[in-house]
Amino acid sequence: MPVTLWVRRVGNRGPPLELPRYETEGAAGLDLRADEPFSLAPGERRLVPTGLSVEIPQGYEGSVRPRSGLALRHGVGMVNAPGTVDSDYRGELSVVLVNHGREAVSFGRGERIAQLVIAPVVRADLVLVEALGGTARGSGGFGSTGR
């Protein structure tokens, strides 16, 4: 069931970009676009503005995720993937991109750089206890279940 996402254009970096949209019927993410041209040298990271701010309904969050095509073709990803946009945030959406590749990569204004997935959030009530319930896995982590 769709939720309403209010979108506002911010910044003044050129003519308005098209609004994010789902590129296919089954797409989970709305494509975010760079609001300015930029380049990334190998190993460089950069905060890239989108020219948009959003109002996400309470009880939901925006998850900013990397684009798999950029990762495969150029080694470009996000440093903090996924990035979380809280429902009470009203600033400009920006994406922290990093070039893990071996060559510099350039992007034009309006190119798709990330995806925004809107999802429900469940808030937890924390209860401090002396011990937690046991499981077969226990406290094993970081590869403890094998390959």
Q: What is the pLDDT of residues 24-43, one digit of tens each?
A: 999 999 999 999 999 999 99
- The DSSP 8-state label assigned to residue 18 in this structure reads P
Q: Which residue has the higher pLDDT, 37 or 139?
A: 37
Looking at the predicted structure, is the pLDDT value of residue 55 above 80? Answer: yes
What pTM value is reported for the model?
0.89
Per-residue pLDDT tens digits for 74-121: 999 999 999 999 999 999 999 999 999 999 999 999 999 999 999 999
- The DSSP 8-state label assigned to residue 83 in this structure reads E
Give CA separation, 35 vs 47, 72, 86, 110, 123, in Å. 11, 23, 21, 6, 33
Pick the CATH number of 6-120 from 3.40.50.720, 3.40.50.150, 2.70.40.10, 2.60.40.1180: 2.70.40.10
- The DSSP 8-state label assigned to residue 143 in this structure reads S
d(CA 53, CA 73): 29
| SS3 at position 1 | coil
Domain residue extents for the chain: 6-120
DSSP string, 67-136: -HHHHHHH-EEETTSSEEE-TT--S--EEEEEE-SSS-EEE-TT-EEEEEEEEE--PPPP---S-----S
